[in-house]
Amino acid sequence: MTTVGHLINGKIIEDAARVQDVYNPATGGSTTRVALASKETVEEAIASAQTAFPAWRNTPAIKRARIMFRFKELLEANADKICELIGQEHGKISHDAAGELQRGIENVEYACGVPELLKGEYSKNVGPNIDSWSEFQPLGVVAGITPFNFPAMVPMWMFPLAIACGNTFVLKPSERDPSSTLYIAQLLHEAGLPEGVLNVVNGDKEAVDILLTDERIKAVSFVGSTPIAEYIYATANANGKRCQALGGAKNHAIVMPDADIDNAVNQLLGAAFGSSGERCMALSVAVAVGDAAADELVAKMSEAMKPLKVGAYSDSSNDFGPVITRAHQQKVNGYIDSAENDGANVVVDGRNPAVSGYEDGFFVGATLIDQVTPTMQSYQEEIFGPVLQVVRVETMEQAMQLINDHEYGNGTCIFTRDGEAARYFSDHIQVGMVGINVPLPVPVAYHSFGGWKRSLFGDLHAYGPDGVRFYTKRKTITQRWPSSGVREGVSFAFPS
């Protein structure tokens, strides 16, 4: 059985002191192993990045951009290989993996514009013979800690832009599906990235804690669950690091009485069950305004869910694949059990689906639960599985209050034909990313991604313009070249 190692200073390193099995979620069997980095291995990666930083910092931005252009071409040329690796270890269906990769590539495209993005400001003659300007300088060695659910896309939210801005990078991907991330990093080196600029260490909490406490790391980006995001943010800040930590979600869609229910159903199918619901922007709660809208929504959703297929990544006719581990499968089923025990109505039951030829896979079928209330555990917590819950309210105000009261504020949307209602909703909802008849309002690469409340710890969102600000620090320079022969007197007043 092969072992997935680390990429340090441009070379694959095997630190075999500790290893962990990597599973194919569709079969339930172990496919490979991943090395879990020791303290010495993580420190070697940091040292490699620190050594590479001075030369990379001084590399012209246009040359850094050219490497990103070549990297983009290699990602597209090797897309099938990357998607296969995602499918084998994550379980994501091939068309879904391709979509994930494309969104990652779009962030590389944004990073290709870094010469323009790093332009500062310049003002001539702010005073007699005095000019002033600002510039954006890289931080140094920065780190990224990424989740299992998007092994290609989320790392590319981070390292392409950070590196294009002149930083060097240490990436700690998820140990559950490490192969695609490592392969992508190798492609960047093939594109011409100098050794040491990007290093990948696979590992667990031991590796994470080193990245959070080592004084050579200047900033940390994280995507994962809220409890871990809170820990990452607090620990990084306590050690003097800049940090952005994106956490969990409980995303609601309001379905108004005037909504196009057929369109809402089609949109909710993909938004709730795509990627097996294992994405922080998944729509997991439909808030129906009025019983008439709720009854129609539940009836049409349950009918539309009948042909949905759950299965292995290699069959593109499947709609979504397994969840990531046996333990997570049991956790998702437990939430369905909990909702049922609390009095909710499981309209479509996805527990223990029969998937021919993959009886040992970690599958959960599409599940629809009606009559859910805000007091239920299944409503309050993030399920992170293919489960859509329906909550019934009488008014739009009640629906918005429900969303605003929740501890998470990542994404939300409203289905309506009423422009006034949509405008009021977008103005007053306390959520970071809002859709109007768009169930997955994930910003494109030249905007920035991030939620509110306990869905984001830190002041700056991920990628886009906020990403540039996060991975750089502003320096303002004021200079004067007095005319020759002019002697100025002393002044103790504040300059103006």
**pTM, full prediction:** 0.94
For residue 465, give the CATH number of its domain: 3.40.605.10
Question: What is the average pLDDT across 184-210?
Answer: 97
* pLDDT digits 0-9 by tens, 389-439: 999 999 999 999 999 999 999 999 999 999 999 999 999 999 999 999 999
**Do 217 and 260 belong together in one domain?**
no
Res 484 pLDDT > 80 = no
**Do 223 and 113 belong together in one domain?**
yes
**Do 318 and 206 belong together in one domain?**
no
Residue 217 lies in a domain: yes
Among residues 436, 468, 485, the one where a domain terminates is 436
Among residues 335, 324, 431, 317, the alpha carbon closest in space to that of 376 is found at 335
* pLDDT digits 0-9 by tens, 76-97: 999 999 999 999 999 999 999 9
DSSP string, 264-309: HHHHHHHHHHGGGG-STT-EEEEEEESHHHHHHHHHHHHHHTTT--
Interacting residues of 300 by C-beta distance below 8 A, sequence separation 6+: 261, 262, 265
What was the pLDDT predicted at 358?
Answer: 95
Annotation marks residue 280 as catalytic = yes
CA distances from 309 to 162, 298, 319, 358 (A): 39, 19, 5, 13
**Do 331 and 421 belong together in one domain?**
yes
Residue 484 lies in a domain: no
Residue 23 lies in a domain: yes
**Do 355 and 469 belong together in one domain?**
no
Q: How far apart are CA 263 and CA 286, in angstroms?
A: 14
* pLDDT digits 0-9 by tens, 289-318: 999 999 999 999 999 999 999 999 999 999
Residue 163 lies in a domain: yes
* pLDDT digits 0-9 by tens, 321-343: 999 999 999 999 999 999 999 99
* pLDDT digits 0-9 by tens, 348-376: 999 999 999 999 999 999 999 999 999 99
Instruction: Please identify which of the residues 165, 243, 280, 413 carries the catalytic annotation.
Output: 280
* pLDDT digits 0-9 by tens, 23-50: 999 999 998 999 999 999 999 999 999 9
What was the pLDDT predicted at 17?
Answer: 79
Question: What is the average pLDDT across 49-57?
Answer: 98
**Do 209 and 350 belong together in one domain?**
no
**Do 256 and 331 belong together in one domain?**
yes
Helices 79-90 and 61-77 pack at an angle, to 10 degrees, of 70
- Contact, 214 vs 43, CB < 8 A? yes
% of the chain beyond a pLDDT of 90: 94
**Do 206 and 263 belong together in one domain?**
no
Residue 495 lies in a domain: no
* pLDDT digits 0-9 by tens, 443-455: 999 999 999 999 9
For 412, the domain range is 251-436
What was the pLDDT predicted at 270?
Answer: 95
Question: What are the strands, taking DSSP E only, across 175-282?
Answer: 198-200, 217-223, 242-246, 251-255
486: confidence class by pLDDT, cuts 50, 70, 90: low
Among residues 436, 468, 487, the one where a domain terminates is 436
**Do 150 and 282 belong together in one domain?**
no
What's the structural domain count of the chain? 2
**Do 230 and 274 belong together in one domain?**
no
Residue 28 lies in a domain: yes
**Do 425 and 387 belong together in one domain?**
yes
Residue 237 lies in a domain: yes
Q: How far apart are the first and last CA of the chain?
A: 70
Residue 428 lies in a domain: yes
For residue 354, give the CATH number of its domain: 3.40.309.10
492: confidence class by pLDDT, cuts 50, 70, 90: confident
